Amino acid sequence: MQSARRELGISQEELGFRCKINRTTISHYERGSREPGVDAVIKLAAGLQTTPDCLCEGIAWLTEEQRFEVEPP
């Protein structure tokens, strides 16, 4: 998400304004300290001018380890 936001040249605050999501929450998403729900993923994708599936590309749930794995872009 952070790379897509930077490609657009917008701040966390601008993305938050576009998505109606608090800038602090966006910061948590980018750092991985909070996981967005489906509604937030849809809003973020729209704000980043992409699709939810593109935004989630490279993310997998590791059942055995009970954690997400994110492939580097």
Domain range for residue 33?
A: 2-70
**Averaged pLDDT for residues 5-27:** 97
Which helix or strand (DSSP H or E) is residue 18 part of?
helix 12-19
Please check whether residue 21 is in contact with residue 43, taking contact to mean a CB–CB distance below 8 angstroms: yes
As beta bridge partners, residue 70 has 59
Structure confidence by residue, pLDDT tens digits, 22-66: 999 999 999 989 999 999 999 999 999 999 999 999 999 999 999
pTM of the predicted model, to two decimals?
0.85
Which helix or strand (DSSP H or E) is residue 8 part of?
helix 2-8
Residue with structure tokens 């980018």?
30
Q: Provide the CATH number for the domain around residue 42.
A: 1.10.260.40
- Count Cβ atoms below 10 Å from residue 26 Cβ, excluding itself: 25
64 vs 17: CA distance, rounded Å: 38
The total of structural domains in the chain comes to 1
